[in-house]
Amino acid sequence: MDSKKVTMWTAQESNVVDVICNDGISYVKKEYIDKKYGETAWIFKSAYSFFVNEAAKRVKKPEEAESPVWIYADEAYVYKSEGARLLKLSVPAEEIVFFDLRDWNRILNLRLLGNEEEER
């Protein structure tokens, strides 16, 4: 039975696109996070570890993947760094964890997810 496919968008560096073209797949490694974010990488790795653990409760994670690939339902939300290539994807809906980007930004800023009283 075919699953429902959802059109999603991502921007990836040329080296990642090359791996996808050559191997048919690419997996995110934590070392890429270190290279991209430098001295602030610990914040992203902490948040990503939380996300990976929670997402695994909802979607089966490939063994080779150390972190998720960030994809967006709306092309307008994709950050396109210089040299990155925009990719339009057709992804099975059951392989996507949808969430509110505002909540994710709160996590990245090491802020509590809760109501106003809990935050105080």
DSSP letter for 38, please.
G
CA dihedral for 57, 50, 94, 17, sign (positive or negative): negative
- Please state the φ and ψ torsions of residue 40, each to the nearest 5 degrees: -95, 5
Question: How far is it, in rounded angstroms, from Cα 59 to Cα 19?
Answer: 24
User: How do residues 67-76 score in pLDDT, each as one tens digit?
Assistant: 888 999 999 9
User: How do residues 8-21 score in pLDDT, each as one tens digit?
Assistant: 999 998 989 999 99
Our separate counts of H helices and E strands in the chain read 5, 2
pTM passes above 0.85: no
